[in-house]
Structure 1
Amino acid sequence: MAYTITHFSPETRSRIDAFFNRFGQGMNAYLEARARSAQIEALEAKSDAELARMGLTRDRIVAHVFRDTYWI
């Protein structure tokens, strides 16, 4: 015979919620970084002339991509 517990104490529920909250935040950070790495690669593939037309230099690509996140 199998038993299933469907009721958790508030402390247990809080610990489970905290775990999934941290896990979700980690996934968000990972997905955000992956999306931005594609943008960085696309900009790095451009020629210096193309970057100059955009007002960028190679050493400022990362700062440009993360400009809304970090004050660089």
Structure 2
Amino acid sequence: MAYTITHFAPATRSRIDAFFHRFGQGVNAYAESRSRQGQIRALDAKSDEELARMGLTRDRIVAHVFRDVIWL
């Protein structure tokens, strides 16, 4: 027979919550540092003619920005 503990002491629950809070903050910071929104906005702000000179179309901007991680 297996037993499952579903009740934690308040101090233990607090430590667990703090751990996951810090972990989540680290994940958010990492994701924001890897964000490519600036590149996407910069390309989106260009005219269709400027994009054409770069060999891009507006619908391929995201694929172009993420070309090193996604092969679309």
In the alignment, which residue of structure 2 is the partner of 1:57?
57
Which ranges of structure 1 fall in alignment gaps of 5 or more residues?
Answer: 1-15
Cross-structure match for 1:24: 26
Uncovered stretches (5+) of structure 2, i.e. residues with no partner: 1-18
Once the two structures are superposed, what CA deviation does each residue of 1:35-65 show, in whole Å capped at 9, x if it has no partner?
x101101101101010000000000000000
Q: Which amino acid aligns with 2:31?
A: A
- 1:24 to partner: Cα distance: 3.3
Count of aligned pairs between the two proteins = 56
Aligned pairs (5 A) from 1:1-72:
23-33=25-35, 36-72=36-72
TM-score, normalised by the number of residues in structure 2: 0.60
- Determine the C-alpha separation between the residues in 2 that align with 1:29 and 1:71: 20
Structure 2 counterpart SS, 1:42:
helix
- RMSD over aligned CA atoms reads 2.2
Task: State the identity as a percent.
Answer: 58
Calculate the TM-score normalised by the size of structure 1: 0.60
Report the CA distance between 1:27 and its aligned residue.
2.0
CA offset at residue 25 of structure 1?
Answer: 4.2
